[in-house]
Amino acid sequence: MIDKTIEKLVVAISRGQIEIYNEFSLQHELGILLRSEFPSDKVQFERNISYFFSSGEFIKKEIDISIFSPDKSQLRCAVEIKFPRNGQYPEQMFHFCKDILFAEQLKRSGFDRSFLIIFADDPLFYSGNGDGIYGYFRQGEKLCRAIGKPTGKKDETLRLKGTYQVTWTGISGTLKYTIIETNNGQQIN
């Protein structure tokens, strides 16, 4: 059902009915639609993971959007959102990978589904050379296993359990998006 909600958001954006201008606006516009799609569930923003889990190792501390039953017996969906606005391409791409890892951790810990949704209106996020980390987001290379920090000290490595394909879909002008649904570490071909 979340897939259809995202499609509704994309259609509304392409028609000019909804305007997104930063990550915060994207998060809230999606949240409004999700609340209408999940009326008996809670749809909450920036919820700390300690609200759901008393233990576990997580790369981040807060979930951008979480959907769950009022008694928390059903953890339906966790959504991480990115809408980069200030370049820093390799660093932002590494943050995308970090969000995928976080979504994997949330899925393994009990959420039924978990996603990373990226919107980008700067073509350098989805087109250009495919060296290093760029290949995953610009050339469709499979995103999997160890991903090293591409800049600075290069002293951090993320280890993804699953394999993912980043596929960009146009909305209007240079604005594109991709949805990555994580899994429990099974390979997606």
Kindly give the interhelix angle for 23-37 and 2-14, rounded to the nearest 10 degrees. Answer: 130
Output b/e per residue, 135-167; b: 16+ Cβ within 10 A. bbbbeeeebbeebebbeeeeeeebebbbebebe
Residue 14: Cβ-neighbour burial (10 angstroms; 0-12, 13-18, 19+): middle
**Mean pLDDT over the full length of the chain:** 94
Instruction: Specify the pLDDT at position 185.
Output: 58
Report the candidate in 154, 58, 149, 172 with the shortest Cα–Cα distance to residue 97.
Answer: 149
Provide the pairing of β-strand 75-82 with 113-120: parallel
3-state secondary structure of 99: helix
Q: What is the pLDDT of residues 150-183, one digit of tens each?
A: 988 888 899 999 999 999 999 999 999 999 999 8
DSSP secondary structure letters along 107-165: HHHT-SEEEEEEEE-SGGGTSS--STTHHHHHS---EEEEEE--STT---EEEEEEEE-
Q: How far apart are CA 20 and CA 25, in angstroms?
A: 5
Residue that has been written with the tokens 């393994």 in this structure? 108
- 157 touches 149 (CB < 8 A): yes
Instruction: Specify the pLDDT at position 143.
Output: 95
The angle subtended at Cα 182 by Cα 177 and Cα 184, nearest 5°, is 175
3-state secondary structure of 26: helix
pTM of the model: 0.94
Instruction: Specify the pLDDT at position 86.
Output: 86
Q: What is the pLDDT of residues 27-58, one digit of tens each?
A: 999 999 999 999 999 999 999 999 999 998 99
